[in-house]
Amino acid sequence: MPEASFRLFALVFMPGSRRLIQRRNISCRPQNQSRVFESNVTTVRTAIGADPSTHGASKPLSSIPKLAKEIATMTSTNLWRRAIGPVALATSFLLPVAVAQAAPAEHHADAAYFPAPVYVSLQKSGTIEKFPDQTVYPGFPGAHYLALSPDGKTLVVSGFKTGQVYIADAKTGKKRATLSIGKVVQGVKIDPQGNYALAVNASGGRVAVIDLAHAKVVQSIAVGHKPHNVRFSRDGRLAYVTVQGDDDLAVIDMATLKKVESIPVTGLDGPHNLDLSADGRRLWIRSHPAKATDTGHVAMMNLAQEKVVNSLAVGPFHGGVDLEPTGAYVLATDIGGHTVDVMDRNALTVITRITVGDGPHGVRMSDDGHWAYVTATRGNELDVIDMRNLKLVDRIETKGKFPFWLALDGNR
């Protein structure tokens, strides 16, 4: 077999053979053809999910047909006829059989990773996907943020640029109501008692108060320029709203349904998503910097003092933030990258960074603190992290595009 043909065969069909090839000191000449050859090898390996740049995660079966297109492109080069052609010809009758034999069964979510149902909004598909059975609920255009009621029976979903909020049965996905509250809707949250939902009308600078029992808007509260998301105090008496345009927090009294205070978020570029500590004393706030390449930050605010006491650099652009319900970890995602930063909320330090799918945004931990779930928007997958060893244990392809946010029982 010609040396160049052996090289391609080994790289594509024998992933562990790179050292063998190096020992044989195989090369393709001239120099410019060598670079083209290497590029083609990488293309083929990437198409079949063998590219090491994918961080060791195999690509789904849907990626395999791309191999035919890539090979068709390569056949137009002289290098194909000289180096790759002989291998392709010799193995063309074997390749379909090899792929069929090696193809794993369709990958489904492992129920062991899901002690409670997890609901994921698929923004570009306008659907909600329920894990672990991966049931898809259609009919939610622009599905963006979502929240689950304390009894696990009701979902509230924001429709982003549709200006709508959807109320649905969490068990069946059937919509109970569609409410129009503005041009752009961002965060939604349900109070601990399950009586009201708050929906952020970002375009109007207001928060809509929704009576869930009657599925109607009962109040609209002005909070500031470009509000984004909301978090209730543990007793439900107060609601905290991040206001990106004003770099502050708006505080709403749920008894009077009025804004009672604004708290500056000093030193943070665009307060974005937020979470509250179990004791209700500290808010953790993720930033939304202006550029996708800008470093993001997570600020910790002491609510009694009403001031930021620490700020930690995390991954690029904006993302989500979540506190471990029973432990010491805080997680932050970076939609501009592909990592999750793990912080120690007692030491106020970043302790590690976990590589996940491309464009992670939503992040939530299971109520027992064992599992963390991350929505990879550009990767179209739900990633699962074992919080006991801080390792990525599964990457599950979603049945729709742009998984943005998630909600689950316990840590809603």
**Structural domains present in the chain:** 3-102 (no CATH), 111-408 (2.130.10.10)
Tokens 């995390």 belong to 314
CA distances in angstroms from 388 to 4, 83, 332, 354, listed in the order given: 46, 49, 17, 13
- Closest-CA residue to 129 (of 138, 119, 139): 119
Query: Rounded to 10 degrees, what is the CA torsion of 300, 306, 309, 311?
Result: 40
- Closest-CA residue to 362 (of 345, 382, 379): 382
Answer whether 315's CB lies under 8 Å from 292's CB: no
Answer whether 37's CB lies under 8 Å from 45's CB: no
Instruction: Determine the 3-state secondary structure of 289 from DSSP.
Output: coil
Angle made by CA atoms 393, 397, 398, in degrees to the nearest 5: 125
Tokens 């953790």 belong to 284
Give the whole-angstrom CA distance, residue 232 versus residue 240: 6
Q: Quote the tokens at residue 73.
A: 């492109």
Q: Which residues, 6+ apart, have CB-to-CB distance to 357 below 8 Å?
A: 338, 374, 376, 378, 379, 380, 381, 383, 395
pLDDT for the residue 409: 87
- Closest-CA residue to 27 (of 50, 6, 49): 6
Whole-model pTM: value is: 0.76
Q: pLDDT truncated to tens, each residue of the chain (412 aa)?
A: 555 444 444 444 444 444 343 433 333 333 443 333 344 434 433 333 444 333 334 344 334 344 444 434 444 444 444 444 444 444 444 444 334 444 445 678 999 999 999 999 999 999 999 999 999 999 999 999 999 999 999 999 999 999 999 999 999 999 999 999 999 999 999 999 999 999 999 999 999 999 999 999 999 999 999 999 999 999 999 999 999 999 999 999 999 999 999 999 999 999 999 999 989 999 999 999 999 999 999 999 999 999 999 999 999 999 999 999 887 999 999 999 999 999 999 999 999 999 999 999 999 999 999 999 999 999 999 999 999 999 999 999 999 999 999 999 876 6
CA distances in angstroms from 115 to 132, 200, 333, 372, 382, listed in the order given: 9, 30, 22, 11, 15
